[in-house]
Amino acid sequence: MKMKRLVQSASIVGVAIFMLAATAGAATVTFNTNLAATGFNGTNNNTLNSSFGVAATLVFQDNGTIVTGVPSNVNYGDFLLTCPLCTTQAIGTGSATFAAFSFNLEINDLTDGATGIFVGTSTGGEIFSDVSPISIIWSPAVLGPGTNNAASGNFGPTFFQIIPISLIVAPNSGTPPGATTVNGIVTSTDVPEPATLVLMGGALLGLGLLRRKGFSRQ
């Protein structure tokens, strides 16, 4: 009798885990990137002007407050490079040069009540309408519990990851032209991987069915 109850329990738990796996991505995290610490060269200025040549600008555009399931691919914002008077590199009569710069991207984790900063650095470079050598290298690669560059609060179980390098596209490239997305991933240790849950559920459910089959033969 005890073995029968154990088998029934295993089957029920297996079914429950299958159901949990189906909803494992249902947990959400709310965040934004438009805090005062977001900006070029340690300021909250989201516009960087060229330092030499024709006029050009590199502007960061945040996406407001984002609510996303976890784990999830996310867009932290976009850089827009514009240079109305730039020519192609082949023509070579109009270009703009950006000096070396840094960019702080502050994550405001509204769910866990914490903030953290991805610090981007770039050597700048000379751009044409069809050429951009500008890249931004981000550090650290991860914000979360116990990680560097946490400004305040407790990230709880939430981790924010960023693609390590943002390659700024030329003014006439991309959609819309000149736009480069800062990509990343938001995940949480509170949300089990669905594949793991499916394996656990399958094992318990299989055990229950196997034991039931054994009982039916006796």
Q: What is the pLDDT of residues 122-181, one digit of tens each?
A: 999 999 999 999 999 999 999 999 888 899 999 999 999 999 999 999 999 998 999 999
Give CA–CA dist 192/87, Å, rounded.
52
- Position 25: which residue type? G
Q: Supply the range of the domain harboring residue 57.
A: 28-190
Average of per-residue pLDDT across 200-214: 44
pLDDT in tens, 38-51: 999 999 999 999 99
For the cut 50, the answer to whether the pLDDT of residue 22 exceeds it is no
Confidence of residue 187 (pLDDT cuts 50, 70, 90): very high
**Helix, strand and coil percent figures for the chain, each rounded to 5:** 20, 40, 40
Whole-model pTM: value is 0.77
CA 182 to chain centre: 8
One domain for residues 80 and 103: yes
Band of residue 19 on the pLDDT scale cut at 50, 70, 90: very low
Q: What is the mean pLDDT of the chain?
A: 83
Q: Which two tokens stand for residue 66?
A: 């984002």
Q: Do residues 43 and 109 share a domain?
A: yes
pLDDT for res 190: 82
82 and 43 fall within a common domain: yes
Whether residue 166 sits in one domain with residue 63: yes
Q: How much is the pLDDT for 21?
A: 38
Structural domains counted in the chain: 2
Among the residue ranges 4-18, 84-98, 183-197, the one predicted with the least confidence is 4-18
The CA–CA distances, whole Å, from 145 to 106, 154, 159, 189 equal 16, 7, 7, 10
Candidates 141, 178, 175; CA nearest to 160 is: 141
pLDDT band at 192 (very low <50, low <70, confident <90, very high): low
Contacts of 5 (CB under 8 A, 6+ apart): none
User: In this structure, are 184 and 197 located in the same domain?
Assistant: no
| Residues 168, 70 share a domain | yes
Residue 4 confidence (pLDDT) above 70: no
Q: Which residues of 19-30 are buried (b: 16+ CB within 10 A; e: fewer)?
A: ebbeebeebebe
Are residues 199 and 92 part of one domain?
no
95 and 121, same domain (yes or no)? yes
Residues 142 and 78 in one domain: yes
Same domain, 72 and 111: yes
Closest CA to 145 of 191, 109, 99: 109
Is 159 strand, coil or helix? strand
| Predicted local distance difference test score (pLDDT) of residue 57 | 98
DSSP track, 88-155: -TTT-S--EEEPPEEEEEEEEETTTTEEEEEEEEE--EEEBTTB---EEEEE-SEESTT-TTEEEE--
Of 43-52, 75-84, 190-199, the least confident: 190-199
pLDDT at 117 over 50: yes
Distance CA 172, CA 79 (A): 14
Residues 72 and 151 in one domain: yes
Residues 6 and 37 in one domain: no
Per-residue confidence (pLDDT) for residue 193, from 0 to 100: 53
* Cα dist from 186 to 31, 140, 169, whole Å: 10, 15, 24
Which tops the pLDDT comparison, 196 or 47?
47
